Every structure is written in C-alpha cells, then in structure tokens.
Amino acid sequence: MDFGLDKKHEMARSLFKEFAENEVKPLAQEVDETEKFPRGTVEKMQKLGFMGIPVPKEYGGQGCDPLTYIMCVEELSKVCGTTGVIVSAHTSLCVDPIMTYGTEEQKQKYVRALATGEKLGAFALTEPGAGTDAQGCQTKAVLDGDQWVLNGSKCFITNGKEADVYIVIAITSVTEDKRGRKKKNFSAFIVEKDAPGFSFGTKEKKMGIRGSATYELIFEDCKIPKENLLGPEGKGFPIAMHTLDGGRIGIAAQALGIAEGALEATIAYTKERKQFGRSIAAQQNTQFELADMAAKIDAAKFLVYRAAMAKATQKVYSVEAAKAKLFAAETAMDVTTRCVQLFGGYGYIREYDVERMMRDAKITEIYEGTSEVQRMVISGALLK
Amino acid sequence: MKIVVCVKQVPDTKGGVKFNPDGTLNRAAMLTIMNPDDKAGLEAALRLKEQYGAEVTVVTMGLPKADEVLREAMAMGADKGVLVTDRVLGGADTWATSTTIAGAIRNLEYDLIITGRQAIDGDTAQVGPQISEHLDIPVISYAQDIKIDGEYVIVQRQYEDRYHELKAKMPCLITALSELNEPRYMTPGGIFDAYDKEVTVWGRADLKDVDDSNIGLNGSPTKIAKASDKVRKGAGEKIVAQDAEEGVSYIMGKLKEKHVI
C-alpha cells in the first residue's frame, strides 16, 4: 500500500494548485460578497479541460482517473468553496450518469459537449417535499408520441440557470405491489436549458458557497425528445443513487479542500499574531488545536482518496463514498470553526477568509446526502 | 519546421537555497521549477507550432530529476523530450554547459533553437549565445516578439526603452525574455500523456564533437570560490515623522551619512 502520489498525480496537483492560487483565490472574496457566479473562471477551466477530467479522450475528456478529478475539486475548494462545487456538480452529477447509463448517441452528443467545456451540467432530484426522502418526488413525465412531457418543480439545484444540460428525475409510472400498495417508478431524463416549458424560479440566498447558483427549476408541460430518456424507463431511482455515490466523493473533496485551506491560513496567522509578547503559535493550546486539526484532515484525506480509488476500481463504492463524505464534511465544519476561534476577533471579520470557509463548510454536511444519510448507508452495510 | 527549446530546472526560491561543500548548488535537495525565461521560450515555440506547424523538442541538462521539467513541457504541448544527464557533466559553468548542450543538439534536426535569456540561479545570460557560437548559427537575444517569414525569423529584440527588429535566416538561435508572453497552463490530459511518453536520455557518450576537457566541473573555466545564502538583515530602523518634510529630511540625512548618496 503506497500512501504517496506518483509523479503524474503530483504534477496534476501542482497544476490545480497553481490555477487555484492565480485564477481563483483573488476572486474568492468578491464572488462571496456579490453572490455572482464566477463565469469567467468557469470559462478558463473549460478551456483547460477541467470540466472533463475523468472522461475518456474519445468523448472529449482528459482521460484521467477519478483521483485526479478529486484533487482538482480539492485544490479549487482550498481557496474557494463555490468554484469547487461548480466542477463537482457538473462532473459527478451530470457527466457521470450520462457516461454510465447513456447510449452512444447521448454520450457523443452530451458528454462531449460537457467534457470539452462547451456546456455546463447540473442534476435535479430534490423537491420541496423530497429531500432525504427522495421518493417523495412528485415531478411527473408522461410519454406523448415521440416526446416526454414533464410537469413539476425541483429546488436547491446547483448550477441552476447557469447550466445547459440537466439530469432530471421524474415519476414515469405508478404500480401496485402484491399487497396493493402504490409504488412510484422513476426515470432519469436529459433536459436541455432551452426545452420548451422549462423555466427557472427563485435564486436562493445562502449562508455559504454564495457564488454557486442555486435555483428552483419549473417544468410546465416541458417537452423533451423521446431519445432523452437516460437509461431504462423505471430505473431512475437506482440511477440517482449511483450518481449521488459519485457526487459524495466530489463533495468530500470539497470539504477536505475547505478544511485544508482554513488550516493553512490559520498556521500562517498564528505564527504572526502576537499577544502577551509572543506569537500565539507559541501557546500550547494553539499548538494542540493545530495538531488535532492536522490529524483529522489527514484522516479525511485518506478516506477521500480511498473512495476515489474505489470508484476507479470497484463497481460498487457506496460505503467508501459515504464514509469519506461523512468524515470530511464533519472535519471541515469542526476545523473551520476552530480556525475562526484561533483568529479571534479577526476571524469574524469578512476580510479574513476563515469566516467564509466556515460558512462554506456547513453545506457539505447537508447536500448530496446529509450526514445522517451517510450514517444510514454505512450502518446499513454493517448490519446486512 | 523543427524547434528545439532548451529548458532548465532551477531552484524555487520559495524553498530556500542549499549548497554543496564545493560551493555549487545542491539541486537534489531543493524545490524546483522550470526557469521562467525558458518557460516563455517554450510558450513561444508552442505558439509558433500552433501558427505555422512545427515539432517541438525540449532539451535539458541536469540531474535525473530534471525529467520533471521535460514532462511539464510535454504536458504544455511539446512533442519530445531529451534529458542530458551524467555524473561527469555536473558542476558545469556556462562554458561547459553550453558545450554539453550543443553536443546534444548536434544529434537533432532543427530550424530554430529557443533558450531563455537567463536562469534565475546563475543569472549569467551566457548559455544561449554560447550555444549559437558552438553551433555556428546566428543568435538574436532578448526576444520580445517572434515571427516566421519563410526561411527567416523576424524578431523584436528588447533594448532599454525601445526595440530593434532583426531578421535572420534559419537555422538560428533566439533567447527569450519572460516578458515575451504569458505561458499556458498544462492540462490534466497533457500531464497524463506526458508521463506515457518516452523521454530520450543521453549521457556523455552521446554528445557529438565534444572534448572531455570542456565539460563538467573540471572543464569549467569559472570556479566558485564561495557561496552562501542571503545574509538576513536586521529589522531596520522605523521612524515616525511629524510630517512628510521632517521624514524626508531625516531619511536624506541618513542616506548621506551612510554614503548611499
């Protein structure tokens, strides 16, 4: 078991780190203050192939592995949680399901455009009545001739309105089981932004990742071509679950990056900040806090990387992904909170990045499966 | 068109400087980067490749780990990499370095050779022009713009507050300034491809028309007498002046006192 990265991955990391430092970091505070989607940064990333890192070359991607993609999300998130999640949602939640379940035509049409950066992707499962209880979803899709007609709404959709391609989960039939209980059957669809009957509602005002566009999606007799059914009809729920397994690894990487960025800033600050005639880094409490955080971050890192490796080599990686997301998200929240504390009064001031990192960290415990859901997945596997 | 780009792996000043007992740099122990002027030269070559069509080969002389800088160049878009490495080549000054690199380049086909103006560790700006002398080809240094016109290159050579425009017939050598351009980032796919490629590795035996007396530490006319890290200065004196006038008077007084002016 080799815990080090090979030269190829080290070089990839240095690329992402350099890009993050030069192109993303200088804008992070402004993106947060103005809540503006960093379109300029996204365009730069699109040109460099960052939006198709794990996609095979034959579909316009970079031909790298999940680990390389995860490191990109990590390095971006160290300086800006918003930018990290844009790449993660696009790649794990939109590109990945089409790569996994799409027909050759769908892959050539959509994956190519998404991976080369021509288009941005998103994923829509959540509804006002369907969060953790995803089966509470009410959006319906009905086949009418050679079109599917969608009716309903989705909420809290990352990359909403900015994205061109949306994976939408909707009910396509209701069946009865042996006991006469009604069962909803879901299907997955690829919906393009300009589909007739597709519009956007509220843009959410959030605690953190404020530059990430979080929108309500509205479907009013929205018509999409028959060919835009993704995977078999009725298989929408397993498709969504598989997609979220991959997405969890991306969010775990985002959380890891946020925690690392916070710790780095705090180490530098505690060395400089003087009280009682010496730097606060000379105080044992500070030292012990930093040590605790460093150990937790390392543990999170190995869980995240292990999950990425599992995605590359295993058919099923739900538990690895759940452990990584659970631990990394809770670590990010814990670390950023402690970092704000170590910064003292300055930690509360928006000019210092740590308060933004703490606000950004919180969502990682919630979206793409709350920490409670992760616990359900892990214990479910233990008690099988 | 065939372009050879010479790049050097140099210490990253952020990591601190380490020396061997003989005063030469302990390169193996330091954080490294591709020399900025060389990176600009590489970027210029890649733009010429995009504009006119060319094969770009990067050459570097260094420790085995200088392989990294070739991979970086290939990840940016260079086609081939050549690593010139051998224990007997170590400790070279500019004369020995240029002799060695010229000896390697004699094995390659080239219309244009691009080197950086100077490396941030040696700061001599000698190797590029010396290579052109060894190979008996024209050199245009301090390039701030490069165009191809058939068999000729047209180069803007930076000169204080203006530039000269020169035309030379290829093959010729150009030295590049870091101000020449903004080098592109690598791509993730480029990195993976670069590590899949073969880097040609040459040693002393592969150098063409090169004498032992002109290579390595022993073949270097310049010998380092002493080398040390920057002396950390004291904190300096901070003055709080009543107004600008008083502050300026005080500073002028001090500068005169220390014979700075």
What's the pLDDT at A77?
A: 98
Single out the residue of A237, A251, A226, A221 nearest to residue A360, CA to CA.
Answer: A251
Q: Which two tokens stand for residue A190?
A: 């690829």
Q: Which residues of A touch B187 (CB under 8 A)?
A: 15, 48-49, 62
C-beta atoms of A57 and B189 within 8 A = yes
C-beta atoms of A7 and B195 within 8 A = yes
What's the pLDDT at B237?
A: 76
Backbone dihedral angles phi then psi of residue A300, each to the nearest 5 degrees: -60, -45
Q: Which residues of A touch B193 (CB under 8 A)?
A: 63
- Percent of chain A scored above 70 by pLDDT? 100
Q: Which two tokens stand for residue A213?
A: 């566009």
Q: Which residues of A touch B65 (CB under 8 A)?
A: none
Residue A161, sorted as left (phi over 0), alpha (psi -120 to 50) or beta, turns out to be: left
- Nearest CA-CA distance, residue B155 and chain A, Å: 29
- Nearest CA-CA distance, residue B231 and chain A, Å: 22
Q: Hey, is the C-beta of A71 within 8 angstroms of any chain B C-beta? A: no
C-beta atoms of B186 and A15 within 8 A = yes
Nearest CA in chain B to A115: B189
**What average pLDDT does chain A have?**
97
C-beta atoms of A15 and B189 within 8 A = no
B71, B188, B195 member nearest A49 (Cβ) = B188
Residue A268 or residue B30, greater confidence:
A268
Nearest CA in chain B to A10: B191
Nearest CA in chain B to A17: B185
C-alpha to C-alpha distances, A54 to A164, A300, A316, B250, nearest whole angstrom:
20, 22, 17, 63
ipTM value:
0.93
Angle at the Cα of A128 from the Cα atoms of A127 and A131, rounded to 5 degrees? 65
Q: What is the rounded distance in angstroms from the CA atom of residue A46 to the CA atom of residue B57?
A: 27
Residues of B near A (Cβ–Cβ under 8 Å) read 68, 71-72, 75, 185-189, 191-195
- Nearest CA-CA distance, residue B71 and chain A, Å: 9
pLDDT tens per residue across span A279-331: 999 999 999 999 999 999 999 999 999 999 999 999 999 999 999 999 999 99
Q: Hey, is the C-beta of A88 within 8 angstroms of any chain B C-beta? A: no
Q: What is the mean pLDDT of residues A195-223?
A: 98
What's the pLDDT at B227?
A: 76
pTM for the structure as a whole: 0.92
- Nearest CA-CA distance, residue A56 and chain B, Å: 10
Give pLDDT tens digits along chain B (261 positions).
999 999 999 988 776 677 777 777 777 777 889 999 999 999 999 999 999 999 999 999 999 999 999 999 999 999 999 999 999 999 899 999 999 999 999 999 999 999 999 999 888 999 999 999 999 999 999 999 999 999 999 999 999 899 999 999 999 999 999 888 999 999 999 999 999 999 999 999 999 999 999 999 889 998 888 777 777 677 777 777 778 888 898 889 888 888 887
Single out the residue of A140, A18, A32, A159 nearest to residue A75, CA to CA.
Answer: A18
Single out the residue of A73, A303, A170, A91 nearest to residue A100, CA to CA.
Answer: A91
What's the pLDDT at A91?
A: 98
pLDDT beyond 80 at A223: yes
Mutate to test the interface with B, among A5, A6, A11 (most CBs of B within 10 A): A11
- Nearest CA-CA distance, residue A293 and chain B, Å: 24
What's the pLDDT at A192?
A: 98
B185, B187, B195 member nearest A8 (Cβ) = B195
Mutate to test the interface with A, among B185, B196, B197, B199 (most CBs of A within 10 A): B185
A7, A8, A48 member nearest B187 (Cβ) = A48
B68, B185, B192 member nearest A63 (Cβ) = B192
Number of residues in chain B: 261
Q: What is the mean pLDDT of residues A166-192?
A: 95
Q: 10 Å Cβ neighbour count for A232?
A: 12
Catalytic entry in A127, A320, A355, A368:
A368
Q: Is A30 a catalytic residue?
A: no
Q: Hey, is the C-beta of A11 within 8 angstroms of any chain B C-beta? A: yes
Q: Which two tokens stand for residue A48?
A: 């460099």
Q: What's the CA dihedral at B81, B84, B90, B96 to 10 degrees?
A: -110
Q: Where are the alpha helices (DSSP H) in A35-168?
A: 39-47, 66-79, 81-88, 96-101, 104-106, 112-115
Nearest CA in chain B to A15: B186
Mutate to test the interface with B, among A5, A6, A7 (most CBs of B within 10 A): A7
Q: Hey, is the C-beta of A59 within 8 angstroms of any chain B C-beta? A: no
What's the pLDDT at B223?
A: 84
What's the pLDDT at B20?
A: 78
Q: Which amino acid appears at position A100 of this protein?
A: T
Q: What is the rounded distance in angstroms from the CA atom of residue B217 to the CA atom of residue B93?
A: 7
Mutate to test the interface with A, among B69, B184, B191 (most CBs of A within 10 A): B191
Say if CB B138 and CB B197 are below 8 A apart.
no
